[in-house]
Amino acid sequence: MKTLPLPLRKARVRRAAPASSVHALQLALDETRQRFVATFDAQCDFIGILVEQAVSGRTGPIVALTQVIHQLKGLAGSIGFPTISTRAFELEQLARGAGRCPFDSLRGRWAVDAIRRAFARDLASPPSWPTPAAVPTARDAKRLIAEDASVPTVRVLIVDDHTIVRCGLRALLANEFRGAAFGEAADARQAFAQLRKTQWDIVLLDVTLPGKSGLELLKELRAEWPLLPVLVLSGHPEDQFAVRVLKAGAGGYLTKESAPEELAKAIHKILDGGRYVSPALAEKLVLGAGTDFTRTPHEMLSDREYAVMALIASGKTVKEIGDELSLGAKTISTYRARVLEKLGVKTSAEVVHYAIRNGLVT
C-alpha cells in the first residue's frame, strides 16, 4: 500500500467530516447517553456492592471495583457527564490506594453517594464535551484536584464559637491543605446542620461551646457518624480534658496554643486513620496506664459538670462561667453545687486546690 506524502496526510486530517457522519456520530452519542441514564442507578448499586466487598481487603473485589469505576469515569467523561467522571476518578484513586493501606469503606460509601448526586447536576446541565487535555489521568491527578475548587482535597468542618478562631484556622489550614473546603459552625445546632448537609473528612471541635458543650456534641456525633474523624482543639490544658475526649471517641486533642505545624501533623495522622496526642500527654498516659481513673472523684462528674469545674479551677466567677457557656447564673450555681458535692469540698477555693493536687491545671 502506497504511503501518502506527509502534507497530503495532514490535509486529510484537517478535512471536515461529511454532514451525514457528524449526524450519525451525534445520534450515537445521544443513544449512548440514553443508555447511560437508563442504567445509571443499577451501575451505582453494583459499585456500592463492590465497595462493601472491598472492605474485606481481598484483592479480587478491589481489582473489580477499580476496573468498573475506571470504565465509568471514562464513559461519563466522553458522553458529557464531567462531574460524574470527576467523582468516579476520586473513588478510583481510593481503590488504587487500597494496596498501601486498608480500604476506607466510609470514604467509599461517601464517594458512591457523591457519584449519585453528580448525576442530577450533570443531567440538568448542557452536555460538556471535554478536550483530551481535560480528561483526568494518573499523571496529573493531584494537580487537577488541587486546581479545581469544586473537587476539594479535604473537607474540614470547624466548630468554634469564636469567629476570629474559625478564620484563623481556615487561614492556617488553607496553606497546608491546598484546595481544601471549609465549613463553620458556632454551636451544636449549626454543627449538626452542616453535618447533615455536607460530607466532611474531619471535624475540628472546641470543648467550650454555648448551649450544648463540645463533649456532649462529640458523643452525639459519634453515635450518628461513628467513623467521622474528630480532632478536639481547645483552650483548656491537656490535663483537663484530653483523656476524657479520647475516651469519648475523639481522634486527638490539641490545645489552641499548639504550633501550626503540630496542628497539621495531627490532622494528617487522624485522616490516615490514627490517633494523635502530644508527646507530653502520651508520656503521661503511659505512666498512668495502670491507674483506674474512674475511681477518682472528678471522673465521676458529667461532661457539663467537668467543664464548670475546669472553669472554676481557672479562677472564673459564676457570672464569667455563665457568660462563657451561655448559661444563666442560677444554672451555673446548680452545676457548681453538684461539683462541690461530688468532689467532697465546700468552696471554690477547695476546687482550685483539688484541681492542682490532681494535675488538672497547669
- Dist CA 56 CA 59 (whole Å): 9
Q: What is the dihedral of CA 350, 353, 354, 360, to 10 degrees?
A: 140
Helix, strand or coil for residue 148?
Answer: coil
Instruction: Produce one character per residue of 144-158: b if its CB has 16 or more CB atoms within 10 Å, e if not.
Output: bbeeeeebbebbbbb
Note whether 58 and 95 are same-domain residues: yes
* pLDDT for the residue numbered 26: 66
In tens, the pLDDT along 297-338 reads: 777 777 788 888 888 888 888 888 888 887 888 888 888 888
Note whether 135 and 237 are same-domain residues: no
Note whether 40 and 139 are same-domain residues: yes
φ, ψ of residue 235 in degrees (nearest 5): -85, -10
* pLDDT for the residue numbered 151: 47
φ, ψ of residue 346 in degrees (nearest 5): -120, -20
Q: Which H/E stretch holds residue 55?
A: none
* Count of residues in the chain: 362
> DSSP characters for 235-269?
SS-HHHHHHHHHHTT-SEEEETTS-HHHHHHHHHH
DSSP code for 187: S
DSSP code for 276: B
- Is residue 360 within 8 A of residue 296, CB to CB? The reply is no
* pLDDT for the residue numbered 231: 92
CATH number of the domain residue 206 falls in: 3.40.50.2300
Q: Residue 208: inside a domain, yes or no?
A: yes
Q: Residue 5: inside a domain, yes or no?
A: no
Note whether 40 and 118 are same-domain residues: yes
Nearest Cα neighbor of 76 from 44, 109, 110, 113 is: 44
Query: Residue 205 forms beta bridges with which residues?
Result: 159, 232
Note whether 55 and 138 are same-domain residues: yes
Which residues 6+ apart lie within 8 Å of 37 measured at CB?
Answer: 123
Residue position matching grid coordinates 475540628 = 204
- Dist CA 208 CA 200 (whole Å): 21
Q: What is the dihedral of CA 170, 176, 181, 187, to 10 degrees?
A: -40
Q: Residue 330: inside a domain, yes or no?
A: yes
φ, ψ of residue 278 in degrees (nearest 5): -65, 155
Helix, strand or coil for residue 291?
Answer: coil
Note whether 215 and 182 are same-domain residues: yes
Q: Residue 13: inside a domain, yes or no?
A: no
pTM of the model: 0.47
Domain's final residue, options 93, 114, 147: 147
Which segments in the chain show pLDDT lower than 50? 1-19, 130-151, 289-294
Indicate the number of domains in the chain.
3
All cell numbers assigned to 57: 481487603
Q: How far apart are the first and last CA of the chain?
A: 88
All cell numbers assigned to 127: 452536555
Q: Show the domain range for 47.
A: 20-147
* pLDDT for the residue numbered 292: 45
CATH number of the domain residue 341 falls in: 1.10.10.10
Instruction: Produce one character per residue of 200-229: b if its CB has 16 or more CB atoms within 10 Å, e if not.
Output: bbbbbbbbbbeebbbbbbbeebeeebeebb
Note whether 299 and 323 are same-domain residues: yes
Q: Residue 245: inside a domain, yes or no?
A: yes
* pLDDT for the residue numbered 261: 82
All cell numbers assigned to 320: 464569667
Note whether 90 and 164 are same-domain residues: no
Note whether 318 and 270 are same-domain residues: no
Helix, strand or coil for residue 230?
Answer: strand
Note whether 99 and 165 are same-domain residues: no
Largest separation between any pair of C-alpha atoms in the chain: 105
Note whether 178 and 265 are same-domain residues: yes
φ, ψ of residue 302 in degrees (nearest 5): -70, 170
Q: Residue 181: inside a domain, yes or no?
A: yes
Strand order in the sheet with 155-159: 181-185, 155-159, 202-205, 230-234, 252-255
Q: Residue 287: inside a domain, yes or no?
A: no
CATH number of the domain residue 35 falls in: 1.20.120
Note whether 159 and 120 are same-domain residues: no
Q: Residue 14: inside a domain, yes or no?
A: no
